[in-house]
């Protein structure tokens, strides 16, 4: 069988979109995934994904084990930042300055590409774009870029004078070499097409990050007198719109507010929580989906301080809520508004003033068991089974 190479600067578990891709293709191709091993919440979940996909070749870069190459890569990152003002248009300098994993990932895929002849390389995350372009050009193979986020619109944490420009240059240079570009939301696709010069020969399509249809079991009946809301993410911390939850919890003692994720202790240390705010640790995807069927309302919240990417992306949590049959209360972002307007059933509504006010006037008939089942059934129209057909058509 022909060989496909997937590369990312993240761990497997923190990139569920990548997982769905190689799981869709592994029966027709030999799939190799180069990723990172993170010693955090994702470690156990990544091991489970590997165990479930034994036919896939996983090459995990463990920075605790690859100490020397990690140090070298970080030094190259620091040097690139130093010389960045003098080489603003240099693709390699911009790439190395943007991510301290890029140089390390490049060395790994260079060696790999000498040993294996690949049909196509698929890059996830901005830090993987430069190594992917290098392999594509050196092997003369197809290059596919997956744009799950609009990277220039994400928050800046270092090299703030030049990092946004670096991201734009990496995107444009990479797009110049790509054969295929996939986008995770219509908002991201529109923004990229507006910002960058993309050849008409490049195949572009939007593949939303939907979950598999059978990942979500029919909702169960919940206690009629207790509404249960839920919010989940990898981390519970600032700039996530959670202040609305804490405020609403104090005003609505008859509603439960379930928060799932790793708690940022610094963020919560001075907050006094109402008793109806209930914390849960990060769950595996299957456990999370099982938990969602016991809930009534999914909270798709964004902070006013959130970066521009959050306005145009479509988050995993938003799609999970819809597919689970929950009624979604969502911050008015382009991505969430566009999706709610594009489907042919009432999956939720945009928050007009505050979460607390929306909960005060919400129609309780939306949460009777049959209403939840109706939403769950309607949402089956945009499952991963539907979206993956677009992916399969590319190969």
φ and ψ at residue 142, rounded to 5 degrees = -65, 140
Sheet with 227-236, edge to edge strand ranges: 277-280, 255-263, 227-236, 297-300, 327-330, 348-350
pLDDT tens by residue, 285-303: 889 999 999 999 999 998 8
Q: How many CB atoms lie within 10 A of CB 205?
A: 13
Residues 206, 280 contacting (CB under 8 angstroms): no
pLDDT at 382: 85
Instruction: Evaluate if residue 113 carries a pLDDT over 80.
Output: yes
Torsion of CA 388, 231, 53, 185, to 10 degrees: 30
Instruction: Evaluate if residue 223 carries a pLDDT over 70.
Output: no
Tell me 298's DSSP state: E
Reported pTM: 0.91
β-bridge mates for residue 57, sequence order: 32
pLDDT at 194: 97
φ and ψ at residue 229, rounded to 5 degrees = -105, 155
CA–CA separation, 381 and 387 (whole Å):
10
* Of the ranges 132-141, 220-229, 361-370, the best mean pLDDT one: 132-141
Per-residue tokens: 166: 């670096």
Question: pLDDT band for position 176 (50/70/90)?
Answer: very high
Query: In a 3-state reduction of DSSP, which class is residue 111?
Result: helix
Instruction: Evaluate if residue 304 carries a pLDDT over 90.
Output: no
CA–CA separation, 158 and 68 (whole Å):
23
Question: pLDDT band for position 339 (50/70/90)?
Answer: very high
Residues 175, 198 contacting (CB under 8 angstroms): yes
pLDDT tens by residue, 61-109: 999 999 999 999 999 999 999 999 999 999 999 999 999 999 999 999 9
Number of residues assigned to the chain:
395
Strands (E) in the chain, as ranges, are 3-7, 30-36, 57-61, 120-124, 142-147, 180-183, 203-206, 227-236, 255-263, 277-280, 297-300, 327-330, 348-350
Closest by Cα among 380, 298, 301, 309 to 343:
380
Residues 296, 327 contacting (CB under 8 angstroms): yes
Query: Measured over all CA atoms, what is the biggest interatomic distance in the chain, rounded to whole angstroms?
Result: 65
Instruction: Evaluate if residue 224 carries a pLDDT over 70.
Output: no
CA–CA separation, 212 and 311 (whole Å):
25
The phi-psi region of residue 42 (left if phi > 0; otherwise alpha if psi is between -120 and 50; otherwise beta) is alpha
Question: pLDDT band for position 35 (50/70/90)?
Answer: very high
φ and ψ at residue 122, rounded to 5 degrees = -120, 120
Q: Work out the mean pLDDT of the chain and round it to a whole number.
A: 94
pLDDT tens by residue, 249-297: 999 999 999 999 999 989 988 888 999 999 999 898 889 999 999 999 9
Per-residue tokens: 252: 């609505």
Residues 5, 108 contacting (CB under 8 angstroms): no
CA angle 83, 131, 151 (to 5 degrees): 70
Q: Map out the domains of the chain with their CATH numbers.
A: 3-207 (3.40.50.2000), 213-382 (3.40.50.2000)
Which of these ranges, 54-58, 375-379, 381-385, has the smallest mean pLDDT?
A: 381-385
Q: What is the mean pLDDT of residues 205-211?
A: 94
């Amino acid at each position: 069988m022909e060989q496909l190479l997937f590369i990312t600067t993240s761990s497997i578990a923190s990139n569920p979109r990548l997982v769905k891709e190689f799981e869709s293709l592994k029966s027709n191709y030999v799939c190799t995934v180069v990723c990172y091993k993170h010693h955090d919440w994702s470690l156990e979940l990544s091991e489970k994904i590997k165990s479930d996909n034994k036919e896939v070749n996983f090459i995990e870069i463990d920075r605790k084990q690859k100490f020397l190459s990690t140090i070298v890569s970080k030094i190259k990152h620091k040097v690139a930042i130093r010389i960045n003002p003098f080489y603003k248009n240099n693709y390699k300098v911009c790439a190395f300055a943007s991510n301290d994993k890029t140089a390390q990932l490049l060395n790994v895929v260079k060696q790999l590409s000498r040993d294996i002849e690949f049909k196509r390389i698929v890059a996830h995350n901005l830090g993987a774009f430069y190594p992917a372009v290098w392999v594509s050009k050196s092997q003369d193979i197809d290059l596919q870029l997956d744009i799950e986020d609009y990277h220039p619109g994400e928050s800046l944490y270092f090299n703030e004078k030049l990092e946004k420009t670096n991201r734009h240059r990496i995107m444009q240079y990479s797009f110049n070499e790509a054969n295929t570009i996939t986008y995770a939301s219509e908002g991201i696709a529109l923004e990229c097409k507006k910002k960058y010069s993309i050849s008409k020969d490049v195949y572009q399509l939007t593949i939303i990050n939907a979950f598999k249809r059978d990942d979500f079991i029919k909702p169960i009946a919940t206690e009629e007198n207790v509404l249960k809301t839920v919010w989940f993410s990898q981390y519970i911390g600032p700039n996530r719109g959670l202040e609305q939850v804490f405020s609403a919890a104090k005003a609505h003692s008859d509603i439960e507010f379930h928060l799932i994720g790793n708690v940022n202790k610094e963020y919560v240390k001075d907050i006094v929580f109402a008793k109806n705010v209930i914390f849960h640790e990060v769950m595996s995807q299957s456990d999370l989906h099982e938990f969602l069927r016991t809930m009534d309302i999914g909270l798709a919240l964004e902070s006013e301080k959130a970066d521009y990417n959050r306005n145009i992306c479509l988050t995993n949590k938003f799609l999970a809520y819809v597919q689970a049959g929950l009624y979604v209360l969502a911050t008015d972002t382009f991505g969430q508004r566009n999706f709610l307007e594009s489907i042919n059933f009432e999956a939720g509504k945009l928050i007009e003033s505050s979460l607390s006010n929306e909960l005060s006037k919400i129609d309780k008939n939306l949460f009777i068991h049959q209403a939840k089942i109706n939403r769950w059934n309607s949402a089956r129209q945009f499952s991963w089974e539907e979206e993956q057909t677009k992916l399969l058509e590319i190969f």
